[in-house]
Amino acid sequence: MSQDHTTPVRTGAVLVADEVTKAFPGALALDRVSFAARAGEVHALIGENGAGKSTLIKVLTGVYAPDAGTLTYGGEPVRFGTPLDAQHAGISTIYQEVNLVPLLSVARNLFLGREPRTRLGLIDFRRMHRETDAALRELGVRVDVTRPLRSLGVGAQQMVALARAVAVDARVVIMDEPTSSLEPREVRTLFGVIRMLRERGIAVVYVSHRLDELYEVCDAVTVLRDGRVVHTGPLAGLDRLRLVSLMLGRDMGEVRSEGATKFSGDHDPGTQPVLSAEELSLRHTLHGVSVRVRPGEVVGLGGLLGSGRSETAKAIAGALAPDSGRVVVAGAPVRTGSTPAAIRAGISLLPEDRKAEGIVPGLSVRENIALAALPALSRFGLVDEARIDAVVDTFVRRLRIKASSPRQRVGELSGGNQQKVLLARWLAMQPKVLLLDEPTRGIDVGAKAEVQGLVDELAADGLGVLLISSDMEELVEGSDRVVVLKDGAVVAELTGADVTEDALLHAIAATGEAAA
Partner 1 sequence: MTELSLRGAELDKTRMVRLLQDYGVYAGVVVLFLVNVVVTPNFVSAENFRTQAVQVAPVLIVALGMALAIGSEGVDLSVGSVMALSTSLISLYLGYGPWIAILVAVLGGMLVGLANGSLIAFVGVQPIVATLALMVAGRGLALVLLPQLKDIRDPGMAALGSGGVLGIPYLALIAAALAVAVAFVVRRTTFGRRLLAIGDSRPAAQLAGLPVRRVLIGAYVLSGALAALAGVLATARLTASDPTSLGTLMELSAITAVVVGGTPLSGGRVRIGGTVAGAVLIQLLTATLIKHDLPPSWTQIAQAVVIVAAVYAARERGKR
User: Contact positions toward ligand ATP, by CB under 6 A?
Assistant: 24, 27, 29, 47, 49-55, 96, 402, 412-417, 442, 444
CB nearer ligand ATP, residue 309 or residue 402: 402
Beta strands in 62-216 (DSSP E): 68-73, 76-78, 91-94, 172-176, 203-207
CB nearer partner 1, residue 113 or residue 340: 340
**Residue 382, contacted partner among partner 1, Mg ion, ligand ATP, none, CB below 5-8 A by kind:** partner 1
Contacting residues for 362 by C-beta, under 8 A, at least 6 apart: 409, 411
CB nearer partner 1, residue 384 or residue 498: 384
Q: Scanning residues 280 to 319, which ones bind partner 1 (CB under 8 A)?
A: 317, 319
CB nearer partner 1, residue 360 or residue 505: 360
State which of residues 37, 54, 149, 227 lies at the interface with Mg ion (CB under 5 A): 54
The site string for partner 1 over 393-432 (x = CB under 8 A, - otherwise) reads --------------------------------x-------
The site string for Mg ion over 396-425 (x = CB under 5 A, - otherwise) reads ------------------xx----------
Burial (CB < 10 A; 0-12, 13-18, 19+), residue 375, is exposed
Distance of alpha carbon 419 from alpha carbon 195, whole angstroms: 30
Q: How far is the CB of 347 from partner 1 (least distance, A)?
A: 9
The region of 19-27, 116-124, 300-308, 493-501 touching partner 1 under the rule CB under 8 A is 19-27
Q: How far is the CB of 148 from ligand ATP (least distance, A)?
A: 27
CB nearer ligand ATP, residue 205 or residue 274: 205
Beta strands in 417-459 (DSSP E): 433-437
Using alpha carbons, select from 45, 24, 53, 50 the residue that is nearest to residue 417: 50
Among all residues, whose Cβ is closest to Mg ion? 54
The yes or no reply on residue 343 touching partner 1 (CB under 8 A) is yes
| 337, 320 contact by CB (below 8 A) | yes
Burial (CB < 10 A; 0-12, 13-18, 19+), residue 338, is middle
Phi/psi of residue 59, nearest 5 degrees: -70, -40
CA dihedral sign of residues 225, 407, 341, 457: positive
Strands 433-437 and 347-350: parallel
Among all residues, whose Cβ is closest to ligand ATP? 416
Residue 461, SS3 per DSSP: coil
* CA-based radius of gyration for the chain: 23
The yes or no reply on residue 477 touching partner 1 (CB under 8 A) is no
CB nearer Mg ion, residue 299 or residue 403: 403
Phi/psi of residue 420, nearest 5 degrees: -65, -40
Q: How far is the CB of 13 from partner 1 (least distance, A)?
A: 23
The yes or no reply on residue 47 touching Mg ion (CB under 5 A) is no
**Residue 51, contacted partner among Mg ion, partner 1, ligand ATP, none, CB below 5-8 A by kind:** ligand ATP
Q: How far is the CB of 83 from partner 1 (least distance, A)?
A: 13
The region of 72-80, 123-131, 134-142, 343-351 touching partner 1 under the rule CB under 8 A is 343-351
The site string for partner 1 over 349-378 (x = CB under 8 A, - otherwise) reads x-x----xxxxxxxx---x--xxx-xx--x
Other beta carbons within 10 Å of 131: 17
| 329, 346 contact by CB (below 8 A) | yes
CB nearer partner 1, residue 150 or residue 195: 150
Residue 486, SS3 per DSSP: strand
Burial string for 415-453 (b: 16+ CB within 10 Å, else e) reads bbbbbbbbbbbbbbbebbbbbbbbbbbbbbbbbbbbbbe
Q: How far is the CB of 369 from partner 1 (least distance, A)?
A: 11
Contacting residues for 415 by C-beta, under 8 A, at least 6 apart: 49, 54, 96, 97, 177, 442
Contacting residues for 124 by C-beta, under 8 A, at least 6 apart: 115, 116, 117, 118
CB nearer ligand ATP, residue 469 or residue 479: 469
CB nearer ligand ATP, residue 392 or residue 494: 392
Q: How far is the CB of 397 from ligand ATP (least distance, A)?
A: 16
Q: How far is the CB of 63 from ligand ATP (least distance, A)?
A: 10
| 194, 204 contact by CB (below 8 A) | yes
Q: How far is the CB of 98 from Mg ion (least distance, A)?
A: 13
Q: How far is the CB of 419 from Mg ion (least distance, A)?
A: 10
Using alpha carbons, select from 202, 249, 199 the residue that is nearest to residue 223: 249
Beta bridge partners of 368: none
The residues that touch partner 1, with contacts defined as CB under 8 A, are: 21, 23, 25, 67-68, 317, 319, 339-340, 342-344, 349, 351, 356-363, 367, 370-372, 374-375, 378, 381-383, 425
